[in-house]
């Protein structure tokens, strides 16, 4: 059963459309130590879809500018290199992983809303902790994409996955535990398959792969990983969207010690988080340009 499931998932992931060359080039350019907005402008200008997404974002209600911006170079400077990089990656992945037909396990609208909530909460916590402004958007993107491993499970093993989600709720287990018991693998493992296929390296790949095995993580992106772990837990307990996980494990003391915040830190974001999620939904809408 285990090998059969893994084989089906691998075959499904192999059939997923690969990331466009323009997006992989954007990631490559942005990961360079000497990247400039001019470099990014050159790459994006060759892809009309990405040009449209960047201009649509800068002119969206999320930024609330008085005058429309029609120049790509100016838009990139105003948004910042990391925002543009994460826009390109987030919208492309959301577009490629959004099922074309209804499936019985996860409600996809609820799933993406949960994902946005984790991204927004992660970003706000990073801001509160005064993390480097150059990587703030990395917190959002890692949080937004952390659960993408659930999508192949939902699509390939739809009936089994619905039963797994139901069993997790009924038996008051975390979803990842129920996945391990029922399917003999969990969404972090399928997320690792996607990260490998699409070469999602660095913090984003590490968060996708390790957010339920964070205590064993020894990589370079522990701060982002632990932030997403904490944000994910709060989003679930606050019933923002639907992750399929109704009884998550509480983050360990090590999470709060590393982040150096109280466990109720997210409460202060309650007044703004829902409006921020509404604004952040522009990322998904832009993805369907």
Each domain of the chain, given as residue ranges in start order, spans 2-16+103-287
Q: Which 8-state DSSP code applies to residue 205?
A: H
The H-assigned helical ranges of the chain are 2-15, 21-30, 37-44, 48-58, 72-79, 81-97, 108-128, 136-145, 150-156, 158-170, 175-183, 187-198, 202-210, 222-237, 253-259, 270-280, 282-287
Instruction: Name the average pLDDT for the chain.
Output: 89
Residue 101 has pLDDT above 70, yes or no: no
Residue 224 has pLDDT above 80, yes or no: yes
Pairwise CA distance, residues 138 & 122, whole Å: 9
User: What is the pLDDT confidence band of residue 60, given thresholds at 50, 70 and 90?
Assistant: confident
71-75, 257-261, 267-271: least confident range: 267-271
Q: Please report the pLDDT score of residue 1 as a whole number.
A: 45
Pairwise CA distance, residues 245 & 168, whole Å: 7
Pairwise CA distance, residues 23 & 107, whole Å: 28
User: Length of the chain in residues, anyone?
Assistant: 289
Quickly name the fold that domain 2-16+103-287 has: Hypothetical protein af1432 (1.10.3210)
pTM: 0.86
């Amino acid at each position: 059963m285990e090998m059969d499931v893994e084989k089906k998932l691998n075959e499904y992931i192999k059939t997923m459309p690969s990331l466009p060359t323009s997006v992989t080039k954007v990631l490559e350019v942005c990961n360079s130590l000497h990247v400039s907005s001019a470099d990014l402008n050159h790459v994006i200008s060759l892809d009309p879809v990405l040009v449209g997404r960047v201009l649509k974002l800068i002119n969206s209600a999320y930024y609330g500018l008085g005058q429309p911006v029609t120049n790509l170079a100016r838009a990139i400077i105003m948004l910042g290199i990391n925002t543009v990089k994460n826009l390109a990656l987030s919208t492309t992945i959301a577009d490629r992983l959004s099922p074309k037909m209804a499936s019985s396990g996860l409600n996809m609208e609820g799933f993406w809303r949960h994902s946005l909530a984790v991204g927004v909460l992660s970003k706000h916590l990073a801001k509160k902790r005064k993390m480097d402004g150059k990587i703030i958007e990395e917190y959002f993107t890692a949080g937004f994409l952390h659960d993408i491993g659930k999508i192949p499970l939902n699509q390939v093993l739809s009936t089994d996955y619905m039963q797994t989600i139901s069993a997790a709720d009924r038996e008051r287990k975390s979803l990842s535990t129920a996945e391990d018991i029922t399917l003999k693998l969990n969404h972090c493992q399928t997320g690792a398959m996607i990260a490998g296929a699409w070469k999602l390296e660095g913090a984003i790949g590490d968060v996708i792969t390790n957010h339920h095995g964070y205590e064993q993580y020894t990589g370079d992106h522990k701060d982002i990983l632990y932030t997403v772990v904490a944000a994910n837990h709060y989003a679930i307990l606050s019933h923002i969207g639907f992750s399929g996980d109704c009884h998550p494990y509480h983050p360990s003391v090590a999470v709060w010690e590393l982040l150096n915040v109280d466990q109720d830190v997210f409460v202060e974001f309650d007044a703004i988080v829902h409006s921020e999620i509404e604004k952040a939904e522009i990322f998904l809408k832009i993805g369907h340009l």
